[in-house]
């Protein structure tokens, strides 16, 4: 998200508060045991379990800064950056000289794109540990991002004056295809125009499996044609599934191309008889994001009425700069293509309604009561995501076991309870909400009295979470969800986040 905080320098490290009354040694021992169990779960990458363990330790001994900082670290692993900031702040309140508290808060702020706040935290930590090598590295990276942000702000022009990269793109400069290029070619010619075929798509996927790229001429052609197609769609797309047909919804893929291919091995390739909806977060984190997005877009062009894509929170400029997609596109193609993808992502629909009964969107429900499907249809989505409102909530919100609306553990959007889900679905004549946006141990979870499903399709997320992936299939005659889970498959030795901001390597 955008960072509009004031520029800040280093701050003074406050004095420690008065020590709390001593605890019973037995209580202290129980808290330490809970912490050690949580540490073991953290090392085993069971981050949800580790949060539960640190929470038990905090409940027993709330005045131990280490417990709060450790829980912040686990929340960062689960991308609960808002919760991580709150935990890290508590850690520094308890012990102002405990530098890991500032580290953790700086990490969470950086992950949210709040570089100036991250820099403030890191500078504060540096007053305590000026020689720490990891801290020095993070400080340098954060300072670089703040300078870049200032530079972009200085060059910024009003939105209405921004020129379309896709409209001014001259594809003729890519028309000459070198003799050395042995990859797939689209049907047609520069003079006649290019069209996508099933043969090209299959050859392209084979090329990607061999860790090769397609020619820039065809890559740009796919983006441009897909952008034209998506621009013609409303922000909420209605989809009809005939009684004798089925329909598959997949969640986040996050650049895990070989797991995407496994979905198609298990459930069949997209076709007129086998329609799909991929529910956002196609890119970032995984290091095969280009391959994923080109495969999805190619099938969209091949089967425009039977392949559907929802925008996720990672189809945005701020996320792509940090989590790898920008760097990957520049490494495999060029910087112009980064700007073209930004325009494409701004054209993606925000939601789909299946047979008038099931709403599918990436994040969740809304900050205010009374939002209707017509309100979703009317959203002006052709922009970067705002920090509040219907579009922000559709991309960022999460369900909660608590009633009503509460602060988001992510630091963006909100959390909403089963009463909010029930009220929205009933008011809009819907049976079910399907969303993605969160890692789930089994690849999916059913919540809110069976009326909300989370589906996540990136197994062993970032090669470290150990989760399964899943997809959900509906039959048109009854619209009852049927789940398939699957495990991760091997991929070439390119680590997740290989193209991400180097700051994140230490998180």
Residue count (the chain) = 507
- Asked if 280 and 206 touch (Cβ cutoff 8 Å), the reply is no
451 CB-side CA count, 13 A: 18
- Asked if 130 and 10 touch (Cβ cutoff 8 Å), the reply is no
**What is the side-by-side strand order in the sheet with 246-250?**
307-309, 276-278, 246-250, 469-475, 481-486
- Asked if 257 and 291 touch (Cβ cutoff 8 Å), the reply is yes
Q: What share of the chain is helix, strand, coil (3-state, %, to 5)?
A: 45, 15, 40
The total of other beta-carbon atoms located within 10 Å of residue 317's CB is: 18
* Catalytic site includes residue 314: yes
Measure the CA–CA gap between 67 and 101, rounded to whole angstroms: 10
Helices 325-332, 335-347: inter-axial angle, 10-degree rounding: 130
Q: Is 116 helix (H, G, I), strand (E, B) or coil?
A: helix
Q: What is the DSSP string of 278-329?
A: E-S--SSSSTTHHHHHHHHHHHHHHSTTTEEE---TTSSHHHHHHHSHHHHH
- Asked if 7 and 116 touch (Cβ cutoff 8 Å), the reply is yes
194 CB-side CA count, 13 A: 22
The total of other beta-carbon atoms located within 10 Å of residue 6's CB is: 7
Measure the CA–CA gap between 73 and 78, rounded to whole angstroms: 9
Residue 91: closest CA among 78, 107, 72: 72
Measure the CA–CA gap between 27 and 304, rounded to whole angstroms: 62
Please state, in angstroms and as integers, the Cα–Cα distance from residue 133 to each residue in 11, 103, 137, 138, 506, following that order. Answer: 20, 13, 6, 9, 11
Handedness of CA 88, 89, 93, 96 (dihedral sign): positive
Q: Is 87 helix (H, G, I), strand (E, B) or coil?
A: helix
Which among 46, 227, 314, 491 is annotated as catalytic? 314
Residue 283: closest CA among 323, 229, 248: 323
Catalytic residues: 314
């Amino acid at each position: 998200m955008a960072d509009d905080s004031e520029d800040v320098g280093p701050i003074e490290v406050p004095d420690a508060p008065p020590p709390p009354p001593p605890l019973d040694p037995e209580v202290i021992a129980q808290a330490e045991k809970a912490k050690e169990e949580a540490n073991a779960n953290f090392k085993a990458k069971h981050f949800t379990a580790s949060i539960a363990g640190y929470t038990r330790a905090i409940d027993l001994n709330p005045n131990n800064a280490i417990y709060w900082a450790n829980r912040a670290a686990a929340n960062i692993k689960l991308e609960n950056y808002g919760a991580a900031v709150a935990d890290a702040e508590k850690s520094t309140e308890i012990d102002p000289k405990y530098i890991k508290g500032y580290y953790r808060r700086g990490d969470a702020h950086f992950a949210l794109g709040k570089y100036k706040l991250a820099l403030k935290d890191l500078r504060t930590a540096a007053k305590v540990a000026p020689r720490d090598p990891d801290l020095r590295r993070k400080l340098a990276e954060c300072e670089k991002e703040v300078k870049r942000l200032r530079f972009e702000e200085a060059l910024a022009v009003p939105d209405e004056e921004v020129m379309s990269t896709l409209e001014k793109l001259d594809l003729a400069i890519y028309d000459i295809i070198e003799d050395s290029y042995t990859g797939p070619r689209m049907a047609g010619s520069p003079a006649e125009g290019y069209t996508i075929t099933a043969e090209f798509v299959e050859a392209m996927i084979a090329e990607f499996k061999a860790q090769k790229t397609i020619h820039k001429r065809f890559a740009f052609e796919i983006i441009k044609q897909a952008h034209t197609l998506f621009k013609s769609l409303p922000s909420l797309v209605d989809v009809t599934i005939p009684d004798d047909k089925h329909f598959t919804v997949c969640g986040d893929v996050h650049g895990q191309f070989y797991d995407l291919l496994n979905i198609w091995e298990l459930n069949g390739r997209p076709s007129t008889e086998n329609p799909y909806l991929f529910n956002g977060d196609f890119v970032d984190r995984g290091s095969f994001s280009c391959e994923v997005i080109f495969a999805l877009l190619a099938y969209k062009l091949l089967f425009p009425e039977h392949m559907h894509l929802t925008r996720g929170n990672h189809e945005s400029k701020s996320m792509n700069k940090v989590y790898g997609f920008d760097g990957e596109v520049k490494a495999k193609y060029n910087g112009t293509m980064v700007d073209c993808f930004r325009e494409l992502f701004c054209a993606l629909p925000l939601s789909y309604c299946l047979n008038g009964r099931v709403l599918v969107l990436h994040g969740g429900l809304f900050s205010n009561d009374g939002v209707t499907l017509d309100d979703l249809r009317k959203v002006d989505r052709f922009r970067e995501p705002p920090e509040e409102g219907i579009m922000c909530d559709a991309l960022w919100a999460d369900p909660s076991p608590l009633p009503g609306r509460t602060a988001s553990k992510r630091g963006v959007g909100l959390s909403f309870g089963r009463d909010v889900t029930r009220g929205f679905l009933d008011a809009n004549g819907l049976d079910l909400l399907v969303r993605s946006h969160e890692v789930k141990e089994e690849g999916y979870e059913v919540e809110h009295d069976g009326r909300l499903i989370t589906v996540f399709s990136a197994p062993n997320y970032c090669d470290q979470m150990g989760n399964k992936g899943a997809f959900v299939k509906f039959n048109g005659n009854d619209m009852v969800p049927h789940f398939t889970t699957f495990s991760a498959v091997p991929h070439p030795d390119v680590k997740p986040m290989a193209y991400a901001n180097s700051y994140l390597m230490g998180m």
